[in-house]
Amino acid sequence: MNPENGYISLIVNTSSGSSSEKHIVKQFIEYLESKQLQLQVNHTKSLSHARALATESAVKFNCAMVIVAGGDGTIREVVHGLEGSDKPMMLIPCGTENLLANELGYKKNSLNHIIQIFESNTLRPLDLCKANDTFFTSVGGAGFDGDIVQLVSDRRRGNITHLFYFFPILKTFFSYKFPPITIEVDDKVVFSGRGIAIFGNISRYALGLPILKVADFGDGLLDICIYKCSNQIPLIYHSLLTIFKSHRKSKGVIYRQGKKIKIYSDSFIRTELDGDPGPPLPLEVSIIPHAVKVLVPPKGKPVGMRRRVFRVFE
């Protein structure tokens, strides 16, 4: 990137990330300054502020690109704010899970890696998903994980680690009742019965679980995986098949791709979107193809399960 192209807008959520991640943000800013690049650094006050800053950058003719340092929530708001603009966007992952950054192949805690991504300028289109009126970039769920996310959100005060999820997962596992749910993909009912659904636009869920195994973040399609289960035993079975990447062939699993997903139920079922509590059912999910252009590591691949499990204990 040349200084003549305009300034770089840096949107930084200072409340997310570890001290080492914050240090990388600081060092990367120093690197950009050493290249005589013009910077505008803004610290976010809230998620909606992150979106407003991105929208402002999108319309400024002399803004050349946007770099966002934050977790999945901040990144999602910046994608939403930039939607439809041709300004390239780059990430500096700072957060607990970083679903999107992991999918794009970003490594954590490596200044050299971030510099390499910036210098290689490899761009890929990224789609944006919408569930009712809420936007999300990565993955959502109806049922089991909706309950987990609600419990985490109720207990959460500021930054959390992966271990914070342990008790909510255990509690949900033993208490979830598997109410019936109906799911349509592109106006056709594909499932009606007891089960749980995971949908979205990235192949790897939390801890790198390859639930939406063939999802592509820039193909204009949503992927959905429905696990048929009326109690905990099939859920364990499905989870094991998923770890070994063979769930899509199982009779107990329905896997589809489409442009529109509808989820409804007569029972109360919680939803989650990118790890935050989502809107209540009925849910209508759609996709905005090629909403933004994002810088990715050259030859980047989604970060695998093993590395992500190790990170939990780092």
- Contacts with Mg ion by CB under 5 A lie at 201, 216, 219, 221
Backbone φ, ψ for residue 279 (5° rounding): -70, 160
Cβ atoms within 10 Å, residue 69: 31
Burial code of 189-210, b = ≥16 C-beta within 10 A, e = fewer? ebbeebbbbbbbbbbbbbbbbb
Query: Which residues in the chain belong to E strands, given as ranges?
Result: 7-12, 39-43, 63-70, 88-93, 123-131, 134-136, 139-142, 180-185, 188-200, 222-228, 253-258, 260-264, 271-273, 276-277, 283-295
Query: Which residues in 144-282 belong to E strands, given as ranges?
Result: 180-185, 188-200, 222-228, 253-258, 260-264, 271-273, 276-277
CA distance readout (Å), 67 to 8, 111, 231, 307: 7, 14, 44, 25
Tell me how far apart the alpha carbons of residues 203 and 254 are, in angstroms, rounded to a whole number: 15
Nearer to Mg ion, 28 or 199 (CB): 199
Backbone φ, ψ for residue 51 (5° rounding): -65, -45
